[in-house]
Amino acid sequence: MNNNFDLLVEYFPVLLPVIAVELTLAITALVHVIRHPHYKFGNKVVWIFVVLFIQFIGPIVYFLFGRGEE
């Protein structure tokens, strides 16, 4: 188990920016889904599920395909 911890510590400087970008994208997309009533495809519940449960790709998919006209 100590080897797994050493591996995590070794890759932590690389993982930290990836985690920060993922959280920023997810929070931004979730706020947008909640505040805007118009979507190109699907409804609010579907997009909340996509944004929260499809990590990293979900928020990107929402901003590319789901976001409706302002």
Give the start-end residues of each E strand in the chain.
Answer: none
Q: What is the pTM of this model?
A: 0.73
pLDDT at 17 (0 to 100): 93
Q: pLDDT-derived band of residue 1, with 50, 70 and 90 as boundaries?
A: low
Give the range of the structural domain holding residue 20, as residue numbers without chain letter.
Answer: 2-66
Query: Is the pLDDT assigned to residue 63 strictly greater than 90?
Result: no
Interior/surface letters 19-51, b for 16+ CB within 10 angstroms, e for the rest: eeeeeebbeebbebbeeeeebeeeeeeebbebb
Q: How many domains does the chain have?
A: 1
What does the alpha-carbon distance between residue 29 and residue 47 come to, in Å, rounded to a whole number? Answer: 9
Q: Over the stretch 23-62, which tens digit does the pLDDT of each residue have?
A: 999 999 899 889 888 877 778 888 888 888 887 788 888 8
